[in-house]
Amino acid sequence: AQIQGFFDGPVDHLFAMPLLSEYVADKYGHREMTVVSPDTGRVRSAEQWADALGGREIAFVHKTRNIDAANETVANRVVGEVDGRCCLLIDDMIDTGGSITKAADLLFDSGATEVVIAATHGIFSEPAIERLRASKISEVVVTNTLPIQAEFDRLTVLSIAPLLGKAIKEVFEDGSVTS
């Protein structure tokens, strides 16, 4: 939302969460589920996901920066109930997969029976695919906002074409893109 101020013309932020949450609800909605934020900064997003999935529990991974290594975090503990539950680990993007796989490992160590990852953007820089393949996660769900070159058996890529189509239709019919 903050980047809209850098443009002279009108800008609308399109959200992939409805597309992703519908997929998750259809496939995993019957399970006892906790929506998990990979850090404290995305707790509000976890709350929105929990509401979209019918009022699920939320949790977050408390992590700190490693002062001895640049750009490295240490996942310390899970705050919230994950024991015996399917955990939906949400994020805006997956780049190298380091943070998200560490968070998934911590969830399993805390008693989660299953971890599903949902993210809008799948960047998948090296060594993301190797990390995700080595993880015990059940599925990684991303959208095709970026060209996805990576392939592995637990990767699901959802098309944003319907979202773009609806936005274009609203623009040309003077409707509400935000809605």
The kind and range of the H/E element at 118 are: strand 114-122
Whole-number Å distance between alpha carbons of 107 and 99: 12
Residue with the two structure tokens 């699920």: 56
CB 120 within 8 A of CB 142: yes
> What is the DSSP secondary structure assignment for residue 24, as one 8-state letter?
H
Give the sheet arrangement for strand 86-94, strand by strand: 73-79, 57-65, 33-37, 86-94, 114-122, 139-143, 155-158
- pTM for this prediction: 0.89
- Please list the active-site residues: 63
Structure confidence at residue 12 (pLDDT): 81
* pLDDT, tens digit only, all 179 positions of the chain: 677 778 888 788 889 999 999 999 999 999 999 999 998 889 999 999 999 999 999 999 987 766 777 666 666 899 999 999 999 999 999 999 999 999 999 999 999 999 999 999 999 999 999 999 999 999 999 999 999 988 899 999 999 999 999 999 998 998 888 77
Structure confidence at residue 71 (pLDDT): 63
